Structure 1
Amino acid sequence: MPSRWEAAVKWDRAAWARGRVLAGLAIVTAGLVAFHRAVPNSVGHLGSLLEQFLPWLGLVVVVLLVLALLRRSAIALVTLLLPVAAWAYLCGGLLLPGATPGAHDLVVVQHNVSDENADPAGTARSLTDAEPDLIALEELVPAALPVYEKTLAPQYPYHAVRGTVGLWSKHPLTGSRTVDIKPPGITDSWERALRAVARTPHGGIAVYVAHLPSVRVGASGLGSAWRDESAGMLGRVVAAEKLRPVILMGDLNSTVDDRGLAPLTSRMNTAHRGFAFSFPAAFPLARIDQVMARSATVTHIRTLPETGSDHLPVAARIALGRGVD
């Protein structure tokens, strides 16, 4: 009969021998999180598709942890430290609380209200509960626009609308104009971006509202060519903007990790506190409704209660006078 010491040594050796497949999966997961930019986009935009759901790779780590415990695999448990560290570096900050409530200058709300929204008045009222300084809306249709104008007017007397996007403000707006972000391949009438200057107590702020083209996931991968073209056009406009600071709000049909938004994310700050998954409203999987800033910092972002849209509204706090230039 083997001694207890011999049995313990045998168990230790077995624990390190078991679970090598799990350890391999942990290494692959860590690689996908840490080096997602290395996943090529040449076939089906697989890199961008992965980047849409990067935070959810944390669930893969949890599943691997449970399996490693069930297998009593020491090598798998140790190897899991790699994806945990990678995920914590990339996404861990989003779990932290935002700055203190007073550490911001503006509150803004971004919402794709949906062109099929049956309750525009209720949607407008719910957005004002966050007491934002600025409200950006997309998918405004002619039938609903007067309802939004009437409902928001008492608190937001200044507004600008271009095509299907609009901006409402507590502060005077000047210089409102359409921004051309229509990809050459779209031949229909298409106005989905505007620029205005908000004359706030903190000075003039260039505000952009945009709705980038939709993407589609199919058998061939992620169809995002038009969205990427539109992001590039908008990025060039923001780069040429002489006024500082700049705030961009919109349904960008992408997460900030997606390289397709690099023309914007390379020039502007995004929120480092709060996940704020906004789409689809019934079971939010990703934040495709974004608030970005230049010469300012988006200190925190969160979702607001569900409206009649298939998107959730997002509210962000912005601190002026610092950030990427």
Structure 2
Amino acid sequence: MTGTETAERADTAEPVDTAERADTAEPVGAAEQTPTAGPWKRGRLLAALALLLGLLLLLHTHLTDRGGLGSLVDTFLPWSGLLVPVLLAGAVWRRSASAAVALLLPAVVWLSLFGGLLTDKSHAGGALTLASHNVGADNPDPAATARDLTASGADVLALEEITPEARPRYEKALAKAYPHHAVRGTVGLWSKRPLSDVRAVDTETDVGPLADTKPEAARMADSRALRATVATDRGPLAVYVAHLGSVRVLPGEGFATGTRDRNARALARAVAAERNRRVVLLGDLNGTVDDRAFAGLTSRLRSAQEEAGDGFGFTWPASFPVARIDQILVRGAEPKGSWVLPATGSDHLPVAAGIDW
């Protein structure tokens, strides 16, 4: 082919429309693009966390108590409800329908467990007002604490963690308002009504019947629980005052509850053997009524806070309460109201309840 023919073909060739090619060309990376995930596919991790939370609330009693894990979860289980709005906010942010639906499980279970505590169930009246307070071994002003408790108007007052040094100050400050009182070891009972049949309760015996295995003087000095009969216009009322063993988080042991659990079992046996129809337990149990360690007590006694309180009634620590470990439990009486008293010099808040027959 000559040069002249080549030039003619180049001149007569059809022009290329580069704009059209640019418009129709497949964009770079188009094959790698995927459709946006739908609302049921987004937030799968949030949905899984919501379901796990719901199962924890539903099956928490089946958790192992090795290392105190079960008791720890039982104690702070009410606070798990705060995770529901956190997860809900995440579901809204991710626009995840699956997470929102999964959150129904923990929300419904939490409300079934604790929703009743959100309403005020107190009623006016009450034949007898009871109060209990762990006054604290390091309380800087026992006399002021005693005056604050007297101002509550309680007919029967239980104190726990009374030191030998502070005991005379409590006795002096409370003598006028409460003419009847009894102290055994570190716990005491003050009453406007006569007391009788006062005795120390052995909370250290873990097996077998409760027996007087130690001399009376030794039992009184070491006691962390007592039992007394209060005379009322409707007959005798058996009153137990107890301060169960402390719990600690220890390296290698976890949530150490051994002493408290042993005390709780012994106290439950004493209450089970009580012949009086009307019974009240006042004290620092170092655990909530949801804790499995107190099944022997809560199967026989009812919580005044749960039946006639307003809110959770947290009592410890006083500066920022996160758990109600100070309890008023009853049998054969009707709680009319339950409330938390203002802070004193203790690291616990006092609790009070009104009961009727």
Taking structure 2 as the reference length, what is the TM-score of the superposition?
0.82
Aligned residue in 2 for 1:139:
161
Root mean square deviation, CA, Å: 1.9
8 Å CA contact 1:52, 1:257 repeated in 2: yes
* Corresponding letter in the other structure for 1:260: A
Distance 1:299 1:37, change over 3 A: farther
User: Bigger shift: 150-159 or 48-57?
Assistant: 150-159
User: Bigger shift: 304-313 or 142-151?
Assistant: 142-151
Aligned residue in 2 for 1:199:
231
Aligned residue in 2 for 1:70:
93
Aligned residue in 2 for 1:56:
79
Q: Deviations over 1:229-254 (max 9, x none)?
A: 11111100100000110000011111
Q: For residues 78 and 127 of structure 1, what CA distance do their matches in structure 2 show?
A: 49
Residue 127 of structure 1, aligned match among 144, 149, 155: 149
* Corresponding letter in the other structure for 1:297: E
Aligned residue in 1 for 2:294:
261
Residue 84 of structure 1, aligned match among 84, 107, 110: 107
Aligned residue in 1 for 2:54:
30
Aligned residue in 2 for 1:4:
none
5+ residue gaps, structure 1:
1-9, 321-325
Correspondence 1:230 to 2:252: no
User: Bigger shift: 205-214 or 43-52?
Assistant: 43-52
CA drift at 1:300: 3.7
Aligned residue in 2 for 1:308:
345
* Corresponding letter in the other structure for 1:92: G
CA drift at 1:128: 2.1
Q: For residues 303 and 250 of structure 1, what CA distance do their matches in structure 2 show?
A: 13
CA drift at 1:180: 0.7
Correspondence 1:241 to 2:274: yes
Taking structure 1 as the reference length, what is the TM-score of the superposition?
0.90
Q: Secondary structure at the match of 2:300?
A: coil
Q: Deviations over 1:89-128 (max 9, x none)?
A: 11111111023222x3322111100111011111111112
Residue 194 of structure 2, aligned match among 167, 172, 184: 172
1:285-296 mapped onto 2 (5 Å cutoff): 285-296=322-333
Distance 1:300 1:62, change over 3 A: farther
Aligned residue in 1 for 2:6:
none
CA drift at 1:310: 0.8
Distance 1:101 1:76, change over 3 A: same
Correspondence 1:161 to 2:187: no
Distance 1:105 1:69, change over 3 A: farther
User: Bigger shift: 26-35 or 247-256?
Assistant: 26-35
Q: For residues 264 and 182 of structure 1, what CA distance do their matches in structure 2 show?
A: 16
Aligned residue in 2 for 1:115:
137
Runs of 4+ in 1 over 3 A off after TM superposition: 297-300
8 Å CA contact 1:269, 1:296 repeated in 2: no
* Corresponding letter in the other structure for 1:181: T
Q: Secondary structure at the match of 2:320?
A: coil
5+ residue gaps, structure 2:
1-34, 208-213
CA drift at 1:299: 4.4
| Alignment length (residue pairs) | 307
Q: For residues 184 and 199 of structure 1, what CA distance do their matches in structure 2 show?
A: 31
Aligned residue in 2 for 1:7:
none
Distance 1:36 1:182, change over 3 A: same
* Corresponding letter in the other structure for 1:204: P
8 Å CA contact 1:301, 1:316 repeated in 2: yes
Distance 1:266 1:117, change over 3 A: same
Aligned residue in 2 for 1:212:
244
User: Bigger shift: 243-252 or 214-223?
Assistant: 214-223
Q: For residues 287 and 276 of structure 1, what CA distance do their matches in structure 2 show?
A: 6
8 Å CA contact 1:114, 1:311 repeated in 2: yes
Q: For residues 52 and 335 of structure 2, what CA distance do their matches in structure 1 show?
A: 32
Q: Is the radius of gyration larger for structure 1 or structure 2?
A: 2
Q: Secondary structure at the match of 1:15?
A: coil
8 Å CA contact 1:183, 1:226 repeated in 2: no
Correspondence 1:44 to 2:71: no
8 Å CA contact 2:124, 2:336 repeated in 1: no
Q: Secondary structure at the match of 2:323?
A: coil
8 Å CA contact 1:138, 1:251 repeated in 2: yes
Identical-residue share of aligned pairs (%): 52
* Corresponding letter in the other structure for 1:233: A
